[in-house]
Structure formats: C-alpha cells, structure tokens
Structure 1
Amino acid sequence: MRIIFLAVVFFNISIQAMVEISIPHNGIDRSYLQYIPPNKNVNDPIDLFIGLHGYSGTASGFEKETTGGFNTVAKKYGFMAIYPQGIYFYDNSSSSFVSSWNDLAGSKTKTPLGETCATDAAIYPKYPNCNSGGRCSWTSCNDDIGFIKKVIDATINNKNIRNIYVIGMSNGGMMAQALACEYPELFKGAANVVGMQHKDLSCIPDKPINFIIYGGMKDTTVPPINIRAADGYFYEPMNKTFNSWSENFHCSVFINEEYLFTDNFEQKTASNCKGGITITSILNKDRGHLWPGIDQSVGFCNTRDQSNLEINECRVIKNSWGNEFIVKLLLEL
C-alpha cells in the first residue's frame, strides 16, 4: 500500500505536530491529518479518535474551527486523533468549495416511503462523477466508508491502538453513524453531533455498539425534532433514532434527566442493553446547528496542513467545554 507522509510542524502550544498522510483508495489519492500527543511513547497502547468534518468543511477546519481545537483535548487525555478529508470539488456555478461524506443516505433521493426532499427543496451542487443520485442527492457517491476503514487499518498496523471512537459534525455525524452501522465491532463508541440521517434511511447496526446522538433544539439545518429542514430536506427525528437503537439492542433501563451545564440539556440514556452497550440522546435546548461549546457556524477553511485547498485560512477559535463534554462521555463508556 502506498502511503505518503507530509509533515507540517507548528509551534502552537495546543498543536505540537500535525502530519498529512495520502493514501490511495479506488484509484483516487485520499488524505487525512494525524495528530499524536507529544511525549507519547510510540509503543504504548493509545486510544484513537476519528473526527469527521461537515458538509463543505475540511479536515483542518474541523480541528481548528468546528471544534475549537480538538487537538488540545487529545493532548490532555493522551489519545491519537485522525481527521480524514472528504472528496471535494470547486463548483463553477456558485464559485464554492464543496466537500462531503457518502453516508449512504445523502447520496440518494428515493427512500422506501418517498423522497429525501420536498418538491420545493433547495438543490445542491452535484459531484461531477455522481450521476445516479437523483434530484435530492447532495453528498459524494464515493466509497467513503471503505476509505475510512482503510485509514483505520493502516493506523492499526503501525500503532498500538487500544480503543477506537468515531465522532462527526453534521454530515460528518451522519458518516460517524454510518461507520458505526457498517463496522460496529471496530469501534468502542460513536458520536453523531447534529447529523440526523435522512428520514427512513437512518441506519441501525446488526451488532451492539455504544452510541451518542446529539442535537440542537434550535437547529433548522438538520432538525432533531421537526422532520423538515429549512432547505426542504427530511431528517429522522432524534428521538426515533434513540428508540430504534434501544429497541434493537433490547435495552431495559431508561433514565431521562434535565440539567444545566453551561447550556440547558435534556438527556436520555438507555442501558442494560445487549452487549453491555449504552445508547444516549442529548438535546441542547439553547443551541442550533453547532458543535458543543461553539457559537458560530465555522470549519469551512484550511490551515498550513492543507495548503493545497483554495479556501479561506482558519481562525483561532477557543472551545472551553464542548470537546471535553463529548470526549468524556465516550471515554466513560
């Protein structure tokens, strides 16, 4: 397997070193960023987090802006982080950078009960190589699940990986759920952040896996409660996903709680499930389509790690609580 390493070193206290790695998949050179905390013995067991950017986002933008510096929490808790890059193109009609993940739902128009969008829905730029998705399709049609599995396999072959977690924002959250469904035995846990999958296409794995689904009550982009989004696309309600997973894995203990932790939250937890897993639904009552701890829609940018991308440079954004909030939930599973 041909793997190319491109090292980019920063002297920022929170980002000691990022490495861009290129790996071929299905005839296309794909890439991802890799971060290993400093002073970590290369032979020691280490947990791995896969972080997935949202629609038209980037790997470096996810780390730098979307999450407000995810490497900082990776350094604190001593885990390795990998940020894959979705396939992208520059749309001539809108002069915009387009990137996405094929979660096997966004690349389709038809569902068993209808279509994934309304007749008056917004139509998004189509990938030049994707001709069969139909009117409502808006993501890549490439084998992104296979690409990320290949990245994980290559990492396992070179590092002493202990537990693997996958997290993602928006379309990246949809992709995290798709990976959990496809390879449940590979991950210790998965977290889908503001990424409800399309209505009637939301997947459930055939084997148990710890799962967290997080939504913002004020989200109109991928709404966790209302089925129809502002752009006319239909999404599976978060509560239905929680109930479907809990039922599928025969969970018998349920806890509902409301609490204040910077924001107001409503959390549902299903436990005593098949395989000893836990299913968690978290609704942030104060936020919209945002990563926990971030108050603006960001991540559509690049850093020197991905200097080949012709888009704006990322800014420094601080996240005082959101990354730890999600990470601790996963590490405690």
Structure 2
Amino acid sequence: MRACKRVVGMLAICCAVLLPCTGFALDDSLRDRVKERMAERRTASGQAESVPAATPPGDHVYTLRHGGLERRYRLHVPTGYDAARPMPLLVALHGGGGNMDYQANDKFYGLISKSEREGFVVAFPNGYSRLRGGRLATWNAGRCCGDARDRNIDDVGFIRKMVAEIGQRVNVDSARIYATGMSNGGLMSYRLACEMADVFTAIAPVAGTDNTLTCSPARPVSVLHIHARDDGHVLFEGGAGPAAVDGAKITDFTSVADTVAKWVQLNGCRREAQRTLETAGVYCDTYSQCRGGAQVQLCVTEDGGHSWPGGNKPRIGAKPSRAISANDVMWEFFSRR
C-alpha cells in the first residue's frame, strides 16, 4: 500500500513538471512562480551565482534572472576604459517592437561611437518579449505598452538589478548614471526617473512622453525631452497619431507640454523657460533654478517625425531631423549634471 502511494505521488509530480500532461497545464504566471521558487532554493542551498567577472573593453551580452524570467542586455565598454577610474553609465532603451540589438546598431543610433568618443559605458537592455530571440519587445512604462504593460512585467526591477550587476562588472561612477530611450523606451525612462531616482541622475527621452501611473521621485532628476513637432506616433499635442500601432497596445499619450510642466513642478524649477538654442529647424527651452541643481530642458525639431535626431531610419516615414544630434545634445546635458 505504501509503495502504491509512492507511485501515485511520483505520477502527480510528473504531471506537474512535464508539460503537457493529460488534464494538467501550467499557466505562464504559475510557471514563473515555479521557476522563481527553484531559483530561491538554489540560492538557499549555496548554488547562487558568483560575483560577475570584470568586463574588458568591447561588446558583451549578458543574461540575468528576474521575476521568473530570463532577461538579457548588451553592454559596451569603450576602449579607453581604465578599471582604476569610474566611468559614467548610460542605459539606452529601445522603442516598442524593437530590441537591444536594434538600439545598439551604430548605423541607426550611433551610441557606440558616442561612447567611444566621450568615454562612457552604455547598456542596452531588452524589453519583454514572448519570442525566444527577444524581438518585438516592449516596456511596461505605466499606461503603455503592449505585452509588458498587459502582463505587468517588472521592468523597473529588472533594470535596477542590471545596473547593480554592471556595477560589479565595471567601475561605474554612481553619481553619473543616466537613461535615454526612443518612443516606448523614452516612456520607460520617465518611469525610471519616478521610481529609480536614487540611481539615475538624469534622463533624456526621445519621442516618448511621461505616461506613468504614479510618480514620487526620491530626489530631483534632470530631464531633457527631445521631440519632433510632426511626430505621427506620439503626438506633440497629446494622443496617439495615425501612424501609431494597434490602439489597444498603446495609450492616449500625454502631451509634450504636460510632460514638461509635470517635471518642472516635480523638480521645483522656475516656471519661466529661457530659450537656450534657436536655429533653423530646432529650438531648446531650459527651466533652471530647480531643487538639487537639476534642470529641465525641452528641444523641439520642426521635422523628423517619430525618429532619433541625427540618426538613421531604415523604415518608411519621415527622415530624422538633421537640425541637431540627439546624442550630442543629450551628452552635453548629462555632462552638466
């Protein structure tokens, strides 16, 4: 009788572990909890991952586990890196439907080249994707976007863990950690400013406004917002434009003006802006006298649509503005922090 009970118990375990099994199925959330519990048991038994090895200059791809998921990121360490001297870290977030490889492609965004010229480490995390290769990924930026939002993926927790791990791999200057992002990645950078103000000193979203659900930053965070007047996805005046994807996967985007006003208030800045740049096709307004030495700056291009100023765009649509380089403007902004 006792042997029979053992057999029944073993069969039950098989049905719980080997999928599919007749009459049994684990939904994704339960599967994630099972994986997380197994990871916890490995940690408790002394099988936790060792401290990451030092990372030499070059391009690297790493995987970490968070929230029951395998998350990946690319890391570029410039050739001038000296382990004895801390370097700034830039976290660059791809747009919705993109991935880390696309954001790290120098032909489109030029961030690797900028890293080499200015001397900073740049990380390209991959958003949540149901596809094995991580393509068509999105970020849970609050009210947007896609599966990451709908499944309430903990992207903030993932990025916090990634930044901490990078700090073990390279000598990062903790006072100079910044974030930027394109579109959904820009939206996500606002969420990082809201929830990781203890980590990020400044952000520079491009073509993505603040669509967070709540925002109570622990300290002032400097914000540089870059947007094209003719953006057909995230409309300058608010809302989703005609070029945007399935409306159920996005949101009624906050306007640029409301986004900037929110951060002027959060940072306690003077409400009157100073025009700090005005040239053909672009202007920049700066809000100063903010708490903690922060700044809020808005740069608006007249054309370029939903794109990265100074970059290249392989898809159809407006060509990126050449009036400014997003990389040059943001690094000059970051360097003042």
Question: 1:159, 1:250 → 2: CA distance?
Answer: 34
Select the residue among 73, 83, 92 that pairs with 2:114: 73
Query: Amino acid of the residue matched to residue 100 of structure 1?
Result: T
Query: Amino acid of the residue matched to residue 159 of structure 2?
Result: I
1:94-138 Cα offsets, whole Å, 9 max, x none, are: xx952111112215xxxxxxxxxxxxxxxxxx64xx7xx6xxx5x
Select the residue among 253, 257, 261 that pairs with 1:243: 261
CA separation of 1:172 and 1:297: change in aligned 2, threshold 3 A: farther
In structure 2, what is the equivalent of residue 2 of structure 1? 49
Task: Tell me whether 1:176 sits opposite 2:194 in the alignment.
Answer: no
SS at 1:174's partner residue? helix
Task: Tell me whether 1:324 sits opposite 2:335 in the alignment.
Answer: no
CA separation of 1:68 and 1:183: change in aligned 2, threshold 3 A: closer
In structure 2, what is the equivalent of residue 218 of structure 1? 230
| TM-score, normalised by the number of residues in structure 1 | 0.73
CA separation of 1:211 and 1:258: change in aligned 2, threshold 3 A: closer
Q: Offset at 1:141?
A: 2.5
Q: Offset at 1:266?
A: 2.6
Q: Offset at 1:5?
A: 8.4
- 1:120-199 equivalent positions in 2, closer than 5 A: 127=147, 141-162=152-173, 163-198=176-211
Contact 2:182-2:206 within 8 A present in 1 as well: yes
SS at 2:91's partner residue? strand
In structure 1, what is the equivalent of residue 291 of structure 2? 274
Q: Which runs of 5+ in 1 are unaligned?
A: 10-15, 108-125, 299-317
Q: Larger strand proportion, structure 1 or 2?
A: 1
- Greater shift after overlay, 173-182 or 188-197? 188-197
- 1:200-211 equivalent positions in 2, closer than 5 A: 201=213, 203=215, 205-211=217-223
- Greater shift after overlay, 220-229 or 17-26? 220-229
| TM-score, normalised by the number of residues in structure 2 | 0.72
Contact 1:4-1:21 within 8 A present in 2 as well: no
In structure 1, what is the equivalent of residue 44 of structure 2? none
In structure 1, what is the equivalent of residue 6 of structure 2? none
Q: Larger helix proportion, structure 1 or 2?
A: 2
Question: 2:129, 2:94 → 1: CA distance?
Answer: 12
CA separation of 1:194 and 1:87: change in aligned 2, threshold 3 A: same
Q: Offset at 1:251?
A: 1.3
- 1:46-125 equivalent positions in 2, closer than 5 A: 46-64=87-105, 67-90=108-131, 97-106=135-144
State the percentage of identical aligned residues.
23
In structure 2, what is the equivalent of residue 313 of structure 1? none
Query: Amino acid of the residue matched to residue 225 of structure 1?
Result: E
1:202-244 Cα offsets, whole Å, 9 max, x none, are: 7463521111111111101011224342245411111111112
Contact 1:35-1:80 within 8 A present in 2 as well: yes
- Greater shift after overlay, 319-328 or 228-237? 319-328
Q: Which runs of 5+ in 2 are unaligned?
A: 1-47, 316-321
SS at 1:76's partner residue? helix
Q: Offset at 1:3?
A: 7.5
Select the residue among 18, 21, 35 that pairs with 2:59: 18
Query: Amino acid of the residue matched to residue 208 of structure 1?
Result: P
Select the residue among 204, 220, 229 that pairs with 2:241: 229
- 1:33-44 equivalent positions in 2, closer than 5 A: 33-44=74-85
Question: 2:50, 2:138 → 1: CA distance?
Answer: 22
Question: 1:225, 1:24 → 2: CA distance?
Answer: 39
Query: Amino acid of the residue matched to residue 265 of structure 1?
Result: V
Q: Offset at 1:188?
A: 1.7
SS at 2:142's partner residue? coil
Contact 1:3-1:22 within 8 A present in 2 as well: no
